[in-house]
Chain A
Amino acid sequence: MIKVEGVTKRYARFTAVDNVSFEVRKGQIVGFLGPNGAGKTTTMRILTCFLPPSEGKASVAGFDVLAQPMEVKKRIGYLPETPPLYPDMEVGEYLDFVGKLKGLRGNDLAKRITEVSDKTNIGDVRSKLIAKLSKGYRQRVGLAQALLHNPDVLILDEPTSGLDPKQILETRELIKGLAGDHTIILSTHILPEVESTCERVVIISKGKLVATDTVDNLTNRMRGSENIGVEVEGIDGELDSKAVQRRLEQVSGVSKVVLREEKNNRAMFEVESLQGRSIRADLARAVVEGGYALTELKAAGMSLEDVFLQLTSADNTEKGEAA
């Protein structure tokens, strides 16, 4: 449904997207994952015909974004990072205008407005001014706008940013419900969002493609090694954090120990385990047997940077083994 081949986007001084290729099949939800400034928005803008690629080809439903932009635009619903809303319009008026832009008229338009208002749960604010809406409602009106002409492809740029936790869950459910009928690309910099919503993931960083895989494969590759936060308190007076660190490093299965914070006779470490080793019990024993108090032991979530590091280094070791 969506095909990106060797797309590069150069600005005067820097390259925002560098030779990125991926494909999305019909009905899939694909997560576009990367830190801020990775080139997610630029790639999406290329797919929506807002920006032309400097090099490479992109096509939606078989239509090239450069050669047949009208056909592409007819088949795409796009929610930019900031929903494109006119604050001095009422929600109903706004949807009416967008519907006309998308080529809907008369009864069709009225019917679609009702349908998407129900789907996105904005029926109760249809006669409200957009300026008066909360952030959550604005995001939903933005989503309604993208759905209005029932497009084959939905491109959603950070659809859950700025929402409260309940709204985030609702929006994710809504997006999941849309898959099948629609092919969806959504961008995010939040890892769990991809895990909970998407089937496939495309990871980019600094404009380059880092990995593209199914979410299951990705989590498998991640599993095994874990990061554990350990907080230790000295029992009587001074705590020698260096000594504790050495002790933790000696526990079998530990690959790395980093001192995160140290104050008032307390030290916080982050311990990384080797692949496939469960080391929590051993860590706890090591601390207690050393004569310290263990005040906290918790799984530290993986940051996006860790994921990138791990993915890129994992690829390297695989290659190394092959050679």
Chain B
Amino acid sequence: MSNILAIAQKELKSYFVSPIAYALLAIYALISGWFSLIAIANFIEMSQQGQGPADLNGYVIAPVVSNAAVLSLFLIPMITMRLFAEEKRTGTIELLVTSPVTDMEIVLGKWLGAMGMYAAILLVKLLCLSFVFMFGNPDWRPLATAYLGMFLQGGALLSIGMFISNTTKNQIVAGATTFGMALLFWTFDWATTFKADGWAKVLAYLSLTSHFSAYARGVIDTKDTIYFLSVIVLGIFLTARSLESLRWRA
């Protein structure tokens, strides 16, 4: 366990000693602030049209949260692309693999480190939303479930991105492939627009959107939780196997 934490700590630190963390946080804060601004302006408009204040949760928190989930599609490849590709390019992977730690410890450590970076990003979003709580009185519970959903969805994408990063030495290739996969999984449910059964149903089930939307509405469904957890486990497992295969494939 302490090996995992040592690797996670090193990984998280490496985001913050390089410009990566600050660039990601700044971009996220900017876009997130813009989304919040639009949502609040919309809320004010609605309140003035109707009788008294509109629903804060429905008009501010829900749209901001679903936009955040889309935004993470763009940001997560930037978090995961270097995880293994960089170590393979510079040769530091030799240090990790020849140290007395297991492959699983290396993989879990890296995933946790990336989760830490993702958590920092989500914290920035929380900062934007904290103003809504300061001046209004929205229900915090839907926000909490949405955050749980964002964590799970992020974890799933991070573990897939980590696996992709382990298949190449090139960060750009890793980043672009991860982005493509994320976008594909995001839009799989479009299949249901012209076909309602068979393979379209399978694709829709694989879609991230269909599993995340319940969380964004404030509903925790076991089915969705299991989906995300199994993607996380799958990604971690695949990464560990492909790290092992470095040795016999070479």
Contact = CB atoms under 8 A, between A and B. Distances in A.
B230 interface: no
Contacts of A145: 95
Interface in A103-117: 103, 105
Given A88-B14, A88-B18, A100-B3, A70 B98 contact: no
A187 to B, nearest CB: 15
Contact of A84 (B2, B7, B94, B248): B94
A51 B250 contact: yes
A48 B14 contact: no
A48 B13 CA distance: 28
Given A85-B92, A86-B92, A101 B97 contact: no
A17 to B, nearest CB: 12
Contact of A80 (B13, B94, B100): B94
A173 to B, nearest CB: 25
Contacts of A70: 100, 102
A117 B130 CA distance: 48
A178 to B, nearest CB: 19
Contacts of B99: 73, 98, 101-102
B247 A51 contact: yes
B241 interface: no
Q: Give the secondary structure class of B's interface.
A: helix
A73 B247 CA distance: 15
Interface of A: 11, 45, 48-52, 70, 73-74, 76, 78, 80, 82, 84-89, 93, 97-98, 100-103, 105, 145
B180 to A, nearest CB: 28
A86 B17 CA distance: 11
B30 interface: no
B90 to A, nearest CB: 8
A101 B93 CA distance: 13
A73 to B, nearest CB: 4
B141 interface: no
B2 A102 contact: no
A100 B6 contact: yes
B96 A101 contact: yes
B91 A101 contact: no
Contacts of A49: 97-98
Contacts of A89: 13-14, 17
Given A70-B102, A86-B14, A97-B10, 4 more contacts: A48-B94, A70-B100, A78-B98, A88-B17
Counting chain B CB atoms within 10 Å of each CB, which of A76, A86, A98, A101 scores highest?
A101
B97 to A, nearest CB: 6
Interface in B223-241: none
A149 to B, nearest CB: 8
Nearest to A90: B17
A80 B91 contact: yes
Nearest to A42: B250
B100 A73 contact: yes
B95 A103 contact: no
B101 interface: yes
Given A82-B91, A89-B17, A105 B2 contact: yes
Nearest to A80: B94
Contacts of B248: 52
Interface in B55-96: 90-96
A98 B14 CA distance: 14
A105 B6 CA distance: 10
